[in-house]
Structure 1
């Protein structure tokens, strides 16, 4: 299906949709409301529902409606469109890493890395799973700056809170389908009551897309990943004060592999590799969680238990083009990457009731992780296996924590926030490295305990605006990286984060305009980085500093127009000299890799009721939006050998709504601008490689809500 055919089909379908719908719309649909205002942004940043304006740190929130309208396939795509957040990925199912404001593991380091805490419905999960499907999401909160007080994942750089839709005591749901030349997606969700005390919800997602890279040998895309996700939840209202929520989720991705593409690839990214090398790649995630809440007269007890079991297998491939450039011979080299991750978590807390003048929470958490990360096979072209070459690694982590935080009003103007957490971390590591049948054994362990927290003040300028200032201490525990190949090279050091932030949050023009702005300073001792040489990667710890400014606004101009945007300036630099790096010296003043100085997004949404057509009994509403994002150039590696180019991206959505149905045309990256997902540099050969983004996608979608 080519683009012209899609556009033609879209126009015919949009015209036909006016005849398909026959819902009656009352006269007041066209009448202007007496008053309009933005909805209040409520969040769960401190594990209880609060007004975002009242909290003394930066929070970016995107709701599920916007996620579905923008057509994001994964949380990874959501975060890439968030200024101040950086994503490094090669496009595989198990290689996402996040940094916020230049703090965090700047390349995939370890599945146990907790630089950015990721929580789904209150349960921590690894950032390595963010390439899996995004579906049936209520909202996503990006909490910037150290969040070490409340999250078991520690969150030295920040935290990502993902909230999914819950069962309700009324029947509701939606169906949404999108199809384009190089991708398709289907989402279905339905929920409602089973009895007076029981309600349930089930959500299903299925999607597929093409990697934007051609295989020279087949003249086709190197792979076509597809994803399947199913989530079911059951809510039992045991009494007026007690409830239990059980959630079971299964996700599977297939044919996703790491893309290592010789640069420059310009507008024609290509690889030269054995066909079918990704065919046996897949990742499976099974997760169960149980949330129990009980309301006392003046407080609430919450228990969240979760267990997840993840398995991934996929090749890491250096194709003929990269291998020849690096090694001088026209060959192919691959490693079969195999990992498993079994994690049990428990969080138990007692907190104030929503709406109380004084917010407080005290709690305890536990995490038990048992995982492996292996290169079980290595080989070359045509799947020839090199016998006697492999690495097997086992990792065990136990983490205990106790925490408390409170916000207390001093008077009508001032509030003070204080939080503290004590964490105990125990990690064990053992590995077998085998080359040409010669084996080397390695084992080590780490015991650490540390204190994190924050202190903040909020001052109400008036009933619409709050000033705030916060100082925070975060911590990135030491550990053992996933890619150790020699005895003693897996261990990396802990990092300490100190951050200060000052900002203002305002709701103006009778809450038609919301503006948040902040300045921040963050200092990190022993930030995590990766040093790459040849086909191997090693850990580098280096001190870094980040200084920046962020601005977010949302303006409901009138009933038809909504304008919103985000801007982030981040100046992140390396503060010490590292001479033991295999990729070359790391100099003082180098830019922190993969952290652009400037990021911005702006969105314009427009809705209006179209003139009525006499032959129709229904009204039709035009629903449009235009999204623009910009990212400035950024360093590719710690040595700053080269920069990844700046890029602009424009997306659009044009639809017709009648009643509870919408038919629409969508466009992603409509100017077809390729940009880099990551970049590496081989110091010995000056070879650069990376992975490109998707090009232009134009498609047709349909959505039905009930």
Structure 2
């Protein structure tokens, strides 16, 4: 985002207020060109920091041209693991604030990413371990393992697999979407970008809220947050959320919902102000998802959509993610030392496969063809870094990162009884650093490097006609980095250019079933160039950012398959992605605010790939899941209401959002396209002192669009439909 942004480390103070997100350029230009257009003073509600309730803001003047302006609220970022203004960050960056997450009812990281310009998501209908994230058309063609991905997620400084984007947005302060290779500071598997998740920290004043929602399909949510001082030096925060719904897919056998997924998440944190300039933050969180089905349905879908499974087949599906971390910050005279020690664990069990209709279409007989996957993973990590202080004339950060991971991934095929037990162990070490140095008052140069060492091992037992042991090892070291120039055209406008080199580590597939195919897959590398700008108006009512980009990837990963032996492998192919994006926000006046984004991406596979699951691929094929055009536009409005029923100073808040997703190939072979769709959502609420009551509507046009697509045979295509239109009500009370 183009706002000037400063970072505030947790020191027992309230978080700053947040800025709205982006504006589609076409509407921006049109509105800006209107003759006589003015930015009138509005009576928009402003939420005080720390999560306290919205209050109406009275205009200090008559709102005529030349009167005082209401500024766009600032947000904070830690995009480069150090504290700096976002306008100085020399690459594309989108920020989704906590208030936007709440206002748009984005309950998971995955849902938030779907509306971000330049980001696309492929998933199996909300199944918590299936999402594949692409940024600017770059990402794994096929994820061949849980460790295989081109986007890394960081939660409060702790790296986590992008397979965890199903994590909830409970008490999240903001999401930062870092676009382009981020290998300098976040290592391998970030050649497309990174998702930086920052949760709210304990406060030195008592505050909190409770929230509840209920809607169609038995959608329900209960949430509570409390924060405040525990002693003169210790503050605490606790947040919990319980939610669930009846799945929108029916079971053809009993006419009931296919499953009733639920989510339960909580997070507790303690902030200890040890001394002036020294603090320690301890965080513990747990997120449990239950009964989420893995959807693979015949297309076209029934009306209503249904699958023919034994009722209750998904009742034991479960995923638990836990994180425990300790962050210590100590300020020296001119720098800061930060240590983040973390332990994360994942426990996953899921049944999925073909229902009777799929099996009938593919094999000629109606049986359930099911597989159960079980996985558990434990990761210990340590990051130690030394960085400049906020506002320093020279930004710099350097550090060391260590991690150890142990993971099991086991598969049991109910039909035939084959079983595959696989164990993976990874040790990673890295040294990194980045600096931005001012050559003149306006011109800055950035340089960053990271060198990583990966040591991986694979031990497996395959149970079929016999029992076979398999053992492999992989050693790899690689260097990633970037160089950039930025120039301050005016105090409010920056332009920049960046060259970046990314890397996606090699490893061992999760689908290996025999020794002949267990050789480690090749790593993937990328080179990217980006030219962009970040602009805000002097009165800070208007902000706009844009970029042109080109990314070339060598040896991207595809899942190979040999129908003669039923064996899987990893096939490599080169890709290229180029395009442009714009996003911004404009506080128009009269209580109105516009935000949105627009992106164009031309992503292609640039080399032939033979032996891929689904058929060979010809160079020039379009990349799957990536539309050429996508965009979003949101209109928010706040207006005071007359007093009624003894209620003083009520405020009406409204939000209407529109998202467009263009057609995109369903698979790498380009067998067929997934259709374009439009998604319209709304939320209307009345703020009454410390409370707000609201109604919401999702997918108001009731479009049945595809979450993913797959070509299974010449006459058989598969996919999963998104949820249709739903309505509901909610209420929130701040204290």
**Equivalent residue for 1:288?**
324
1:73 has 2:103 as partner: no
1:504 has 2:533 as partner: yes
**d(CA) in 1 for partners of 2:427, 2:228:** 38
1:672 has 2:707 as partner: no
1:46 has 2:80 as partner: yes
**Equivalent residue for 1:425?**
454
1:403 has 2:432 as partner: yes
SS at structure 2 position matched to 1:77: helix
Give the C-alpha shift of residue 630 in structure 1.
Answer: 0.7
SS at structure 1 position matched to 2:103: helix
**d(CA) in 1 for partners of 2:719, 2:286:** 31
Contact persistence 1:277–1:315 (CA under 8 A): yes
**d(CA) in 1 for partners of 2:206, 2:82:** 26
Match of 1:645 among 675, 682, 700: 675
**Equivalent residue for 2:299?**
263
SS at structure 2 position matched to 1:50: coil
1:520-572 superposed Cα distances (whole Å, 9 cap, x missing partner) = 00000011233578898653321000010000010011250110011111100
**d(CA) in 2 for partners of 1:604, 1:651:** 11
Match of 2:687 among 619, 636, 657: 657
Match of 2:631 among 597, 600, 603: 600
1:106-157 superposed Cα distances (whole Å, 9 cap, x missing partner) = 3443221241110000000111111132210000000000000111454111
Give the C-alpha shift of residue 163 in structure 1.
Answer: 0.3
Contact persistence 1:550–1:566 (CA under 8 A): yes
**Equivalent residue for 1:486?**
514
Aligned-pair Cα RMSD in Å: 1.9
**Equivalent residue for 1:584?**
615
1:532-571 aligned within 5 A: 538-558=569-589, 560-571=591-602
SS at structure 2 position matched to 1:219: coil
**d(CA) in 1 for partners of 2:275, 2:205:** 18
**d(CA) in 1 for partners of 2:615, 2:318:** 35
SS at structure 1 position matched to 2:241: strand
Contact persistence 2:635–2:655 (CA under 8 A): yes
> 1:314–1:240: structure 2 CA closer, same or farther, 3 Å change rule?
same
**d(CA) in 1 for partners of 2:303, 2:492:** 49
> 1:263–1:672: structure 2 CA closer, same or farther, 3 Å change rule?
same
1:116-515 aligned within 5 A: 116-152=151-187, 154-182=189-217, 183-265=219-301, 267-375=303-411, 377-379=412-414, 386-387=416-417, 389-435=418-464, 437-490=465-518, 491-508=520-537, 510-515=539-544
**d(CA) in 1 for partners of 2:400, 2:496:** 28
**Equivalent residue for 1:10?**
none
> 1:678–1:639: structure 2 CA closer, same or farther, 3 Å change rule?
same
Match of 1:518 among 547, 551, 566: 547
Moved more, 633-642 or 231-240: 633-642
**Equivalent residue for 1:616?**
646
Contact persistence 2:246–2:261 (CA under 8 A): yes
Contact persistence 1:96–1:108 (CA under 8 A): no
> 1:327–1:30: structure 2 CA closer, same or farther, 3 Å change rule?
farther
Contact persistence 1:115–1:158 (CA under 8 A): yes
Contact persistence 1:304–1:348 (CA under 8 A): yes
**d(CA) in 2 for partners of 1:602, 1:267:** 30
1:344-364 superposed Cα distances (whole Å, 9 cap, x missing partner) = 111000000011010001100
Give the C-alpha shift of residue 75 in structure 1.
Answer: 0.6
**Equivalent residue for 1:103?**
138
Moved more, 179-188 or 296-305: 179-188
**d(CA) in 1 for partners of 2:585, 2:133:** 25
Gaps of 5+ in 2: 1-52
Give the C-alpha shift of residue 93 in structure 1.
Answer: 1.9
> 1:153–1:199: structure 2 CA closer, same or farther, 3 Å change rule?
farther
1:690 has 2:719 as partner: yes
**Larger relative contact order (Cα-Cα within 8 Å, sequence gap ≥ 6):** 2
Give the C-alpha shift of residue 177 in structure 1.
Answer: 1.2
**d(CA) in 2 for partners of 1:669, 1:576:** 38
**d(CA) in 1 for partners of 2:155, 2:62:** 39
**Equivalent residue for 1:625?**
655
Report the TM-score, using the length of structure 1 for normalisation: 0.93
Give the C-alpha shift of residue 676 in structure 1.
Answer: 1.3
SS at structure 1 position matched to 2:183: coil
SS at structure 1 position matched to 2:517: coil
**Equivalent residue for 1:64?**
98
Moved more, 352-361 or 508-517: 508-517
Contact persistence 2:320–2:348 (CA under 8 A): yes
1:612-661 superposed Cα distances (whole Å, 9 cap, x missing partner) = 33x52511100000011011111111111111111100000000011121
Moved more, 212-221 or 257-266: 257-266
Moved more, 147-156 or 477-486: 147-156
Gaps of 5+ in 1: 1-22, 381-385
**d(CA) in 2 for partners of 1:79, 1:237:** 34
**d(CA) in 1 for partners of 2:196, 2:319:** 23
> 1:292–1:580: structure 2 CA closer, same or farther, 3 Å change rule?
same
Moved more, 173-182 or 403-412: 173-182
> 1:637–1:28: structure 2 CA closer, same or farther, 3 Å change rule?
closer
